Amino acid sequence: MKKQHRDLLVLIKDESQIPHSIDTEVERLHQMLFHVETIENLCIATEIIDLNRFKLITKPSAIAKLLRQRELKPFQFVNNKN
């Protein structure tokens, strides 16, 4: 698993936790996010609104193809379903 540099805000209820346990918790969060943040999961939770053709694109393979482009055409919008 490739190490990513990310900013995580971890709120701790007890001040009595040792720094090693905090590092372990952050590492577990990183591992969980690494498996969740994939292009497949992004495409499932996203849709493309294309006002040029008046279409709503929901097919994950078509969304992945559009997201890999350098930029979208005018009046194409990325919408998160969440």
3-state secondary structure of 76: strand
Q: pTM of the prediction?
A: 0.65
Chain centroid to CA 54: how far?
26
3-state secondary structure of 50: strand
Rounded to whole angstroms, the Cα distance separating 61 from 21 reads 40
pLDDT digits (tens, 9 = 90+) for 6-64: 787 878 777 766 777 878 888 888 888 888 889 999 999 999 999 999 999 999 999 99
Rg of the chain over all Cα atoms, to the nearest angstrom: 18
Is 22 in contact with 11 (CB distance < 8 Å)?
no
In this prediction, residue 34 carries a pLDDT of: 84
